[in-house]
Structures are given as C-alpha cells and as structure tokens.
C-alpha cells in the first residue's frame, strides 16, 4: 500500500510552494486520478517518475523525480542556455521513445494530449523525460480515439483535437511534429509573426526547398570541427516533422516509425563526421549508441 505524503510536509519541502519548485498546477478531480493511474504504472526511462502523492478534498499534488536541468522550453528560449545540434536531436529521440512506449508498449495506449517543450524535463545527464499527464487519456480495449472537452495548448494541439474534441495517438504525433519543428527553428508557434493564415507549420512547409532559411541560425554557425551539418540532414529533419503533422490524421506516421527515422538521421550525421574526430574521441572503439548516452524531487500540483 502506498503511503502518501502530507500537505504540511509538501509545504515545508517546497518553501511554501515556491514557483521554483513547481512543475505546474491545475490537475484536479478526475484528471488528477488519471494522471496518478498513468504515472504510478508506467516504467520508461523517458517518462517522468512519480515518487509520491498527496490527495485530500481541496488539495492534490504529485511529487516527481527531480530534474535539475529544467525544461526543454528553458533551454530553447533562455539566453543563458544553449543546446547544440546533437543535444537537440537526442532530446527529440528521447521524447519519441517515451511516446512510442505510451502508444505501443503500455498495457493500454496512452494519449498524452499536451505535448510541448515545457512538459519535457531534462535530468542531470540531459536525458529527456515527458511530464504532466494531467489531461492524458487511456484508450481501452479496441478504442483508437475518444472525444473530450479538455483542450491542450494552442499551437501544439492537433486540428481535429481543437475542432472536434477527437483524442487519439495521432494527435500526440501532431504535437510532437510541432515541437520537433520548434526545437530546430527555435520559434514558438504563437510567435507574433504567425497570424491569420500563416502558421509555424505553413511557414516551414513553404520553405521546404530552401530549408536553411528557417533553421535556427545558431545551429548554422556551429564549428565545423564538431560536425558537418549538411543541408540534407536538416531536410530530413523537417521532412519528418511535416510527416508528423500531415492532414488528415490517418496519413500521419506512427511513433515506431518516427523513432526509426530519427535514429537514421542521427547515424547519417554521425557518418559525415571526420575519421580524425572519431579517433580523437575514441569513438571507433565503442558503439555509437553507448548505454551511457541513454541513462536524480519536483512538485506538481
């Protein structure tokens, strides 16, 4: 039987719910129960781990494993932080691996419903963990979709989710595709440049033949001795993002295929690194996907 932590203990542990110690707020009632159900039972290295909870009539909270490097959003948009190309790609592989587990390998498919950079947390090894399952949905039996009145986040939410309330794994794939674009172009879908008919997706799509114009400029000036970032690699990245966000939803690829393609992109880029660089880092003697590359509390109420 699980022993819950008390509200008083949480007050002391978090300096009276100081914002620095909170991941988010708002999960109440049934959404809290769903989140508890999902997070107590999932076991995957890329999903945030719940270590305790507190629940009474007017207060509910989850205690999650501490993630010292904060959120992906912080690293993308704070001037004091920087993610190089390999870090960004590895984070997106981590997130895709977590979603693959939720969609295909958990006892019943789980739809996260609110995938975005602020819900991706980074541990001390910069391994990404998906968090905040407050509006997640379990698909039972033969279900492939549900209807809901609970909305995700504008800009990341799949069109069918916002207009018809349809929740399916395809909606998560759409949100992943938008977040994938955001990670490499470093523009928010709610940026002031996007208005009326121009969206992040349409902007990226219209630049498909000149992809270097939309890629984050910081990635284009990385030193050559680190990696040769060929336009073909960026093209593969953007093509995958667009395949995740295609309409209608039935045409979107699934997360298993996303993971396979991401690893192909990673190996494609690894292959263009110079043999001298690989030798200097002793990478010729170890597998590229070394276990150490894929390896420790925060409060959510």
Show which residues are catalytic: 114
CA 151 to chain centroid: 18
| 3-state secondary structure at position 174 | helix
Give the integer Cα–Cα distance in Å for 95 and 4. Answer: 29
Residue 191: which region, alpha, beta or left (left: phi > 0; alpha: psi -120 to 50)?
Answer: beta
Q: What backbone torsions phi and psi does residue 94 show, to the nearest 5 degrees?
A: -60, -50
Q: What backbone torsions phi and psi does residue 287 show, to the nearest 5 degrees?
A: -65, 145
Give the integer Cα–Cα distance in Å for 174 and 193. Answer: 21
Tell me which residue of 150, 156, 148, 193 sits closest to 173, measured CA to CA. Answer: 156
Give the integer Cα–Cα distance in Å for 274 and 225. Answer: 8
CA atoms within 13 A on the CB side of 7: 7
Exposure string over 273-299, b if 16+ CB within 10 A, otherwise e: eeeeeeeeeeeeeeeeeeeeeeeebbb
Alpha-carbon distances of 294 from 122, 147, 164, 258, rounded to whole Å: 12, 35, 38, 18
Q: What backbone torsions phi and psi does residue 141 show, to the nearest 5 degrees?
A: 55, -120
């Amino acid at each position: 039987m699980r022993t819950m932590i008390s509200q008083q203990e949480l007050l002391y542990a978090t300096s009276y719910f100081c914002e620095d110690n909170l991941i988010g707020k708002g999960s109440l009632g049934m959404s809290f129960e769903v989140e508890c159900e999902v997070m107590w039972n999932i076991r995957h290295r890329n999903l945030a781990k719940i270590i305790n909870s507190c629940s009474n009539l007017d207060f509910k909270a989850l205690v999650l494993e501490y993630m010292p490097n904060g959120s992906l959003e912080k690293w993308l948009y704070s001037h004091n932080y920087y993610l190089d190309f390999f870090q960004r790609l590895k984070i997106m592989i981590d997130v895709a691996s977590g979603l693959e587990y939720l969609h295909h390998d958990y006892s019943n498919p789980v739809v996260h419903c609110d995938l975005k950079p602020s819900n991706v947390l980074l541990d001390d090894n910069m391994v990404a963990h998906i968090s905040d399952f407050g509006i997640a949905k379990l698909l039972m039996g033969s279900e492939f979709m549900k209807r809901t009145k609970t909305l995700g986040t504008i800009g990341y939410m799949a069109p069918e989710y916002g207009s018809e309330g349809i929740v399916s794994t395809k909606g998560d794939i759409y949100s992943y595709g938008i977040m994938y674009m955001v990670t490499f172009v470093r523009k928010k879908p709610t940026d002031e440049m996007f208005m009326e008919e121009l969206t992040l997706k349409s902007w990226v799509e219209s630049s498909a033949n000149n992809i270097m114009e939309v890629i984050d400029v910081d990635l284009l000036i990385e030193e050559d001795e680190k990696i040769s970032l060929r336009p073909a690699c960026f093209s593969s990245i953007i093509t995958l993002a667009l395949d995740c966000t295609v309409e209608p939803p039935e045409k979107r690829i699934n997360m298993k295929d996303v993971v396979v393609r991401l690893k192909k992109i990673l190996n494609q880029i690894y292959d263009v690194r110079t043999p001298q660089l690989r030798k200097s880092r002793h990478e010729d003697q170890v597998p590229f996907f070394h276990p150490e590359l894929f390896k420790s509390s925060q409060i959510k109420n």
